[in-house]
Every structure is written in structure tokens, then in C-alpha cells.
Amino acid sequence: MLRYVTTNSGKVREAREYLDAVEQLNYDYTEIQAAELGPIAVRGAREAYRHAGEPVLVDDAGLFVEGFDGFPGPYSAFVEHTLGIETVQRLVAREIDAPRRASFRCVLAYCDGDAFDASPDPVDREDRAAAAAVGADDDADDADDPLPVKLFTGSVRGRIVEPRGDGGFGYDPIFEHDGTTFAEMSAEAKNAVSHRGRAFAKFASWYQER
Ligand SMILES: O=c1[nH]c(=O)c2ncn([C@@H]3O[C@H](COP(=O)(O)OP(=O)(O)OP(=O)(O)O)[C@@H](O)[C@H]3O)c2[nH]1
């Protein structure tokens, strides 16, 4: 059984499109403060695996606004819950000239207690870069942790617009990709292009073939 460790039901709906076997584990692992998603996901996966004692998948994601140097990035959930997405959109509109570029990024971290076979390895360059960044960024207290974690990443570019649509979750109404906001797309259409969809497509093919 694979446990998808998240408190966010929007994430679970999207993950189910890729993996039927996925079972939500509503466990609020410790999210460290870090500029990148990778280290947060790795720590979370190790903690969740030790908590659950069975294979886990942790998903750390965020919205990175180019003109704000990537803010809110790893703090996206906190900013969504404190300011709200309308305030974020108004701030972006006031402070940044069009086209107000942004991207969504997602890092999936898988841990089942075992080491991973180095080959065959379908993981792409983006995933290797994320893994390298995690190694480089690890703080002293975690660098020695021997529990292996495998990373899969996805990202999608778009721009911040006035809210449109009522599907999806989080910032979806203010994130436009190719003329359509994520909240205006069906779940299938969002998954086909989204950060999470791309990361899950890579994870699912690796998981099913391993
Ligand atoms: O419009 C959105 N469409 C998406 O597809 C999406 N993916 C992430 N986000 C935002 O980024 C935070 C992740 O934060 P996050 O990875 O820490 O997760 P979370 O706190 O919601 O739940 P958990 O999985 O940690 O339990 C979320 O809360 C959202 O604000 C998204 N917004």
C-alpha cells in the first residue's frame, strides 16, 4: 500500500488520476523553513515513513512569482491561508508589470525504507538537479540521515491574472496557462499540463516498473 501523505484533499483528487492504489494519510509532517521545495519534501518523507512504517509519498508544492523572486514559493500554503489569493493577485497587479509571470512547482518524495537501484533510472535532468540541490542544501542535522528518498519534480509556467473559474484548489483561479486559468480547466486538463501532473506521470511510470 502506498500512502500519499497530505492534509490537502485537492492534491489527493489529482493524484488519484495517476495511481488508483494511492491512499491518503492525513499526517501533518514537520515542514522546515527552506528556500527550495526539495529539502522540505525529503525531510517530510523521512518523518512520514518513520511514522507510518510503510511506503510513503510526500508532495511539496508552491507558486513562484517571478517578479517577487519566487515568493510565496515554499510559503504558498501559509500565504494562501493568511492573505488569500485575491490579495496576492492584487499585490502582483500593483507591483509587477504585465505579463506577471509565475510558475507552479511540485516535488514528490518517495521513501519505502530501501535503497534505490541506480539503473535503469528513468529520472530526468530536472529530478537529478533537485536531488543534487537537496544534498547541497541539507543542514547538518539531516545530512547524516541514511534513509534513502527518491525525488520526482514537475513545473508549469503561467501568469497571474484576476480570478476566473471555480475548479481546482488554492491559487488555481489566478494562475493562467495558455489563456485558461487552472480553475477553468477540468481535472484531466489541469493534470495534463500541471506541475503535479508532470511529477506524478514520472513517478507513476517509475513506480509501476520498479
Ligand atoms: O492553485 C493551486 N494549484 C495547485 O495545483 C497547487 N499546488 C500547490 N498549491 C499551493 O501551494 C500550497 C502547497 O503547500 P504544501 O505543499 O505545503 O501543501 P499543503 O500545506 O496544502 O498540504 P500538505 O500536503 O503539506 O499536507 C497549497 O496549499 C496551495 O496554496 C497549489 N495551488
Is 127 among the residues known to form the active site?
no
**CATH code for the domain in which residue 58 is found:** 3.90.950.10
**Domain count for the chain:** 1
Could you report the predicted ipTM of this complex, rounded to two decimals?
A: 0.95
**pTM of structure:** 0.91
Of 59, 60, 127, 172, catalytic: 60
List the chain pLDDT tens, one digit each, 210 residues. 899 999 999 999 899 888 887 899 999 999 999 989 999 999 999 999 999 999 999 999 999 999 999 999 999 999 999 999 999 999 999 999 999 999 999 999 999 999 887 654 455 667 776 666 665 444 434 667 889 999 999 999 999 999 999 999 999 999 999 999 999 999 999 999 999 999 999 999 999 888
Strands 101-111 and 56-65: antiparallel
Atom number of ligand 1 nearest to Cα 80: 30
Domain span including residue 156: 2-209
